Structure 1
Amino acid sequence: MMINLIVNEFAALTNILPTPILATATESADATMVLTSVLLSLVVIYLASKLGGEISRYFDLPPVLGELVGGVIVGVSAFHLIVFPETGAAASDSVLMTILQGIGGLNPESAESVFAAQSEVISVLAELGVIILLFEIGLESDLRELQKVGYQAAIVAVVGVAVPFAAGTIGLMLIFGMPAIPAIFAGAALTATSIGITSKVLSELGHLKSKEGQIIVGAAVIDDVLGIIVLAVVASLAKTGEIDFLNVVYLIVSATVFLLGAIFLGKFFNKSFIAIADKLQTRGNLVIPALVFAFSMAFIANAIHLEAILGAFAAGLVLDETDKRKELDQQVIPIADILVPIFFVTVGAKADLGVLNPAIAENREGLVIAAFLIVVAIIGKVITGWAVFNQPQINRLAIGIGMIPRGEVGLVFAGIGSASGVLSKPLEAAIIIMVILTTFLAPPLLRWAFKGDEEAIEQADLAES
């Protein structure tokens, strides 16, 4: 799906779609304005990302939190510089499009066309950003260590899906008298975990390769697979009122075979990869084959109806076993520095904090439901740390907190529910509020949880000395 979108956008920008050979001057001008608007959007995104990250670092908070806040400031909640049609925005809502209309003299119809194309390009770049992020996380992860905690991660993931789903669904039906299908949809939105946000924070804190970090990342990957299955179930339920069991079985089997098969075949692929990289003599002899492999894995995952990020993560795990891992990791970092901020800023930009305004009547009911969902969302994930067994010295609180952020995954649930007409406005607002708060609370809470762990270690060392 993402590949098709890239091809379509590239075709649109270069006028190679089946159109008359002599394009009109207006069409040419529109194509030029799409590029102009994308470039201006990237300027805003990078400035928001860097300023937010630096301010966050100054206050000893994870930079990713600053990038998210920067996105909120330039997005639909504040300055309306970066807005997207899926949030209900039009070209007239975008300050950047207003500026470009003044510069390029676009009529309203052309402005809407440019706005839609620009938004799609930025969204594709954001998707590429999260793919590169998960590839980088895979490279930084230790497959052998991940295998050691695999069963622990699986238990954490299952508990982290089952508890919030059951508590959310039953609570909404019993406490708020909500019909079954909307309650199930909202409960499903509580199951998600944003592996992109959690893994980025773990990497920044230097805990990605710790036992806690490996359990969190492993559980988040499994959680993502389970989330895809849950989403497939509730989406079919919303459309037909029935569950397509064959589709559920297919997703379970394909996800399992894909992940295990990728890791198994990777043992044989590593030697071939190194041999190819050593024979290439031009620039990029290592990083280009690595990206070809990562994008191929992401494509295969997408083609079999899994998430592209799972393919990228699996590719990183495979290449982590090669002798050139450290060199490759260093070469991927600049690419990540370019693309990953686009992902985090756009996540923040799409977060509409207007749903928190109690002055709007329909928000009040949503706020009450949101309070319930937030409690379930946090407790339902925090308790997963206590699902880990035979690990007496492990930081269970950090594991639970690491599973809290819903991020873009939760927004996908809300978007599909809204599009299907299953969710009422108050329930949709409540889900969005839950997603926003869990996304923003997790980074500082995770730092706090690990800080307490580090202080305990320092005190133990002092006691021994």
Structure 2
Amino acid sequence: MTELLVEFTLQLAVILLVAKIFGELFERMGQSSVLGELIAGMVIGPYALGSINLPFFGKLFPIAEQVGGHVSALPVSPELYIFAQIGAVILLFLVGLETDAKMFIKYGLKALGVAIGGVVLPFFLGAWGTVMFGFAESMFDGPAMFMGAIMVATSVGITARVLSDIYKLDTSEGVSILAAAVIDDVLGILVLALVLSMGSGEGGVSWAQLGLIGAKAVGFIGVVFILGLLFAKKLSRLLLKLQGKTYVALAAALCFLIAALAEEFGLAMIIGAYLTGVILSVTELGHELEEKLVWVAHIIVPVFFAVMGMLVNFQAMLSALAFGLVITLFAIVGKIIGCGLPALFSGFNFLGSLRIGFGMLPRGEVALIVAGVGLAAGVINQEIFGVSIMMTIITTLMAPLILVPLFKINKPGLRQAAEQAAAPQTVVEPAFTWNAGENTLDLYQENLVLVLKAADYNVVEEEGGRLVELMHNEDKGKYITLKREDKKLAVDCSQSALDDVNLAAVNAQNKAVALVSSFANPGTV
């Protein structure tokens, strides 16, 4: 036991060291740190440097060939994989806390169309491609059906981290992607159940069982939301009466409880964690948790992405290269068109639809888990499993590379917002200015954005804190721009937003001045 503990601790140390260095390097190159952490895992994983025998230590990341009495579909140890999943749970809990719950509900119907499109087209392309390359005789054969199921998967964790890094979680596209990913998880469970049922020796599909699985998943989400609406604010007030260290621990316990229940009801744990965060996001407790848990996430979450990179088997990827490249192309087209077209017809413009399509692109650990089920059941062989890994890693790496530039384009993703933005409107420039030191301005600007968000404004563009653009969620003619330069904050806005700016400026200034005064006079309250 001691030897196992030492090995696990050493592995965590190496993963954190390399993952954070790679993440920092990629951030300096203008990319998301997720990309660096994934590549770090590929470099030090069991299929690369991790397989080298080191003096005194041996192989740092040996391939885990067995888990208990069963052959493992994952190359890392169960302990490391479980720790990584805890990182994913914390990540999605934080993502939920950062999500605008009102927008989540508002874009739920749009997300349903996006999720359905992201299931139907990728499934068809995956099954058809498997038949085309001779790995199955028909689209209803086990291997073809399983490849379709693998193509359906969406890993919300990777996209969520990218959106969080660039402050786009609460945009219309960001919320739609996350809502669609939750629905996609339910549909993916049904697809997997259907494939397993057809692949079994019983020769038929148990529609009653499929209906039961779907009812359990949808029912769980519904019950969690209803309980959240009824008790979230009461729970918030109760926990905030306790010390910070206590209410953070209890909230985390609630997150883990709902995550575990989600898994029991056929959903992924990360979906349960995300729902918990969304429910608490409307409470004062949610804002407190967001500030306190972010440092925990900086330690645990990089392990999750590094471990995902470690799952890449380069040899298996190369054994069926042509098939893998075509399936990868189908996987990209399937999500971009399958999710992008419904988004285009539900109020998003071309840019917004592209953002949603690429946001639903990464397969991540979800596809690997589905592929592992197929391999363990003997439905797919090592070649198809290798192709699944190739498709997974390429789509997972593509998402951060393309999403970041798409969101840097300073244009709204909603068709109505774009049309209103293009229409000639009276602009008050500047509506308000404030001169102060950089630290005071940082504090004031942060408070101003929070006050405007409370007034139903949403951040649509942010460039390193020097330029922040906000737009009203309902009245798209109301938009506000915050500009920082030479120890001055200037606020421009449309004529219709002028009253909101004046009120928000007073409230934010009072908060900032009060806080600065408390720093200068620690004895005052």
TM-score, normalization: structure 1?
A: 0.81
For residues 104-157 of structure 1, give each alpha carbon's deviation from its aligned partner in whole angstroms, at most 9, with x where no partner exists: xxxxxxxx99xx999222111111111111111111111110111101101000
Amino acid at match of 2:340: G
Cα distance in 2 for residues equivalent to 1:273 and 1:140 = 18
Amino acid at match of 1:348: G
2:222 is the alignment partner of 1:273: no
Quote the residue 1:367 is aligned against.
Answer: 321
Cα distance in 2 for residues equivalent to 1:372 and 1:463 = 46
Count residues with an aligned counterpart. 402
Q: Do the aligned residues in 2 keep the contact of 1:53 with 1:65 (CA within 8 Å)?
A: yes
Q: Do the aligned residues in 1 keep the contact of 2:127 with 2:145 (CA within 8 Å)?
A: yes
Task: Tell me the CA shift for residue 431 of structure 1.
Answer: 1.4
Task: Tell me the CA shift for residue 461 of structure 1.
Answer: 8.4
Cα distance in 1 for residues equivalent to 2:38 and 2:162 = 12
Secondary structure at the counterpart of residue 209 of structure 1: coil
Cα distance in 2 for residues equivalent to 1:274 and 1:170 = 50
For residues 164-217 of structure 1, give each alpha carbon's deviation from its aligned partner in whole angstroms, at most 9, with x where no partner exists: 101221332245362311011011100011100011111111111100101111
For residues 407-427 of structure 1, give each alpha carbon's deviation from its aligned partner in whole angstroms, at most 9, with x where no partner exists: 111111221111111113322
Quote the residue 2:375 is aligned against.
Answer: 418
Query: Quick one: which of 295, 299, 306 aligns to 2:260?
Result: 299
TM-score, normalization: structure 2?
A: 0.72
2:340 is the alignment partner of 1:385: yes
Quote the residue 1:444 is aligned against.
Answer: 401
2:36 is the alignment partner of 1:36: no
Quote the residue 1:376 is aligned against.
Answer: 330
Cα distance in 2 for residues equivalent to 1:158 and 1:339 = 32
Cα distance in 1 for residues equivalent to 2:300 and 2:274 = 16
Cα distance in 2 for residues equivalent to 1:334 and 1:194 = 23
Query: Quick one: which of 207, 213, 226 aligns to 1:251?
Result: 213
Query: CA separation of 1:169/1:276 partners in 2, compared to 1, >3 Å: closer, same or farther?
Result: same
Cα distance in 2 for residues equivalent to 1:390 and 1:455 = 15
Task: Tell me the CA shift for residue 338 of structure 1.
Answer: 2.0
Show the 5 A alignment for 1:98-137: 99-100=56-57, 119-137=77-95
Higher strand share: 2
Task: Tell me the CA shift for residue 230 of structure 1.
Answer: 1.5
Task: Tell me the CA shift for residue 347 of structure 1.
Answer: 0.3
Query: CA separation of 1:320/1:67 partners in 2, compared to 1, >3 Å: closer, same or farther?
Result: same
Query: Quick one: which of 108, 118, 138 aligns to 2:96?
Result: 138
Percent sequence identity over aligned pairs: 35
Quote the residue 2:304 is aligned against.
Answer: 343
Q: Do the aligned residues in 1 keep the contact of 2:135 with 2:143 (CA within 8 Å)?
A: no
Show the 5 A alignment for 1:41-120: 41-80=11-50, 93=51, 95=53, 99-100=56-57, 119-120=77-78
For residues 214-269 of structure 1, give each alpha carbon's deviation from its aligned partner in whole angstroms, at most 9, with x where no partner exists: 11111111111211222222233334354332331122111111112111111221
Query: CA separation of 1:216/1:280 partners in 2, compared to 1, >3 Å: closer, same or farther?
Result: same
Query: Quick one: which of 138, 141, 158 aligns to 1:197?
Result: 158
Query: Quick one: which of 110, 125, 128 aligns to 1:152?
Result: 110
Q: Do the aligned residues in 2 keep the contact of 1:34 with 1:118 (CA within 8 Å)?
A: no
Query: Quick one: which of 224, 233, 237 aligns to 2:198?
Result: 237
Amino acid at match of 1:125: F
Secondary structure at the counterpart of residue 220 of structure 2: helix
Point out where structure 1 has 5 or more consecutive residues left out of the alignment. Answer: 1-30, 81-92, 104-111, 358-362
Q: Do the aligned residues in 1 keep the contact of 2:111 with 2:176 (CA within 8 Å)?
A: yes
2:181 is the alignment partner of 1:181: no
Amino acid at match of 2:32: P
2:282 is the alignment partner of 1:321: yes
Amino acid at match of 1:73: V
Task: Tell me the CA shift for residue 325 of structure 1.
Answer: 2.0
RMSD value over aligned CA atoms? 2.7
Q: Do the aligned residues in 2 keep the contact of 1:235 with 1:416 (CA within 8 Å)?
A: no
Cα distance in 1 for residues equivalent to 2:99 and 2:59 = 49
Query: Quick one: which of 302, 313, 316 aligns to 1:352?
Result: 313
Cα distance in 1 for residues equivalent to 2:258 and 2:161 = 21
Q: Do the aligned residues in 2 keep the contact of 1:145 with 1:214 (CA within 8 Å)?
A: yes
Q: Do the aligned residues in 2 keep the contact of 1:35 with 1:118 (CA within 8 Å)?
A: no
Task: Tell me the CA shift for residue 453 of structure 1.
Answer: 4.5
Quote the residue 1:164 is aligned against.
Answer: 122
Cα distance in 2 for residues equivalent to 1:226 and 1:94 = 41
Task: Tell me the CA shift for residue 448 of structure 1.
Answer: 2.1
Task: Tell me the CA shift for residue 44 of structure 1.
Answer: 0.7
Query: CA separation of 1:95/1:201 partners in 2, compared to 1, >3 Å: closer, same or farther?
Result: farther
Cα distance in 1 for residues equivalent to 2:400 and 2:7 = 32
Cα distance in 2 for residues equivalent to 1:463 and 1:446 = 29
Cα distance in 1 for residues equivalent to 2:21 and 2:261 = 36
Cα distance in 1 for residues equivalent to 2:43 and 2:56 = 18
Secondary structure at the counterpart of residue 132 of structure 1: helix
Query: CA separation of 1:100/1:264 partners in 2, compared to 1, >3 Å: closer, same or farther?
Result: same
Point out where structure 2 has 5 or more consecutive residues left out of the alignment. Answer: 61-67, 428-525
Task: Tell me the CA shift for residue 463 of structure 1.
Answer: 9.4
Q: Do the aligned residues in 2 keep the contact of 1:133 with 1:196 (CA within 8 Å)?
A: yes
Q: Do the aligned residues in 2 keep the contact of 1:136 with 1:332 (CA within 8 Å)?
A: yes
Amino acid at match of 1:143: A
Query: Quick one: which of 376, 385, 390 aligns to 1:433?
Result: 390
Q: Do the aligned residues in 2 keep the contact of 1:382 with 1:401 (CA within 8 Å)?
A: yes
Secondary structure at the counterpart of residue 279 of structure 1: coil
